[in-house]
Amino acid sequence: MTQWTDVAVLPSWWLCGWVDTDSPGYRTVSIGGTPYTAAAGYHRWPDYIGAIDTAVGGGGWAATVNNRGAVRLSGSSAAVVWTDRAGWLMGMGTDPADSEGSITSVTSRTPPPGCIPLIGANWVSVDRTAESQITVDRWQRGHGYVWGSAELWRWRLRMVRDAVPSFQSGHLLSGKVTLTSTLPDPSWSDTAWSSSNPSGYLDGYVVGVEGGRWLGPTREVYEVDLLVATAVGS
């Protein structure tokens, strides 16, 4: 069976979430019986992986991201216990208190729900006056309101089949998100997207999701529209 990391087409875009590590939830992993906690903050995904990398570095381990978006934790042989939901967010397919046993590495088993690889993306501005009537989407989610100096955009995203459950799991369906064409590894540092920087990123807040559809008879590619609000001029 083909694995998601074996798909021939490399990701060309990434939809990344933000992670709040000020409170328990997605910030701690135990290695060799010692818990390691990411520094407090509100992190864009690459910075979040960087915070995890710094934390587990205290145990001689490291967190990296490959060109498919898979997160890999590695180091000297030790028992790894996922003490919260960080493992799930990184695509390890784990629940709190799940253990990996004594290992030297563990890699995302599914596209991380915190940042999914995309094989295509584009966006257009939405005329809020012309589109004031928006129906409830397939997940029965209503659409929020945009107040003040904000612009509304429709991000049209394409992803491979295996990324769909990660997208639908919820982390990227609300709150702040980033759309980027730059590999989201821990050393990632880029500037906002512009005509002079096509490899930059766009930040916004999810307002709603407009359905979704499979492309082609084999249903290998899924396309969905994400409604996102950004500050004027972003």
Which tens digits make up the pLDDT trace of 203-217?
A: 899 999 988 999 988
Burial of 20: CB neighbours in 10 Å, binned 0-12, 13-18, 19+:
middle
Q: Is the pLDDT of residue 148 over 80?
A: no
Q: How confident is the model at residue 138 (pLDDT cuts 50, 70, 90)?
A: very low
| Domain end residue (candidates: 75, 107, 139) | 107
In a domain, 13, yes or no: no
Q: Is 53 in the same domain as 92?
A: yes
Q: How many CA atoms lie within 13 A of 5 on its CB side?
A: 15
pLDDT per residue over 14-44, tens digit each?
A: 999 999 999 999 999 999 999 999 999 999 9
Q: How far is CA 175 from CA 37, 39, 227, in A?
A: 23, 20, 12
| Domain end residue (candidates: 107, 140, 155) | 107
Query: CA 181, CA 122: separation in Å to the nearest integer?
Result: 11
Using DSSP's 3-state secondary structure scheme, residue 114 falls into coil
Report the pLDDT value the prediction gives residue 40, as an integer from 0 to 100: 97
Q: In the structure encoding, which two tokens stand for residue 127, read together?
A: 């005329």
Strand partners for 115: 16
Q: Is 134 in the same domain as 68?
A: no
Instruction: Give the residue ranges of DSSP H helices in 80-149.
Output: 86-89
In a domain, 191, yes or no: yes
Range of the domain at 224: 115-231
Q: Is 121 in the same domain as 227?
A: yes
How many domains, in total, are found in the chain? 2
C-alpha 135 chain-centroid distance: 26
pLDDT per residue over 68-125, tens digit each?
A: 999 999 999 999 999 999 999 999 999 999 999 899 999 999 999 999 999 999 888 8
pTM across the whole model: 0.85
Q: In the structure encoding, which two tokens stand for residue 192, read together?
A: 């906002």
End-to-end CA distance of the chain: 42
Report the pLDDT value the prediction gives residue 130, as an integer from 0 to 100: 47
Q: How confident is the model at residue 1 (pLDDT cuts 50, 70, 90)?
A: very low
In a domain, 8, yes or no: no
Count CB neighbours of 121 within 10 A.
19
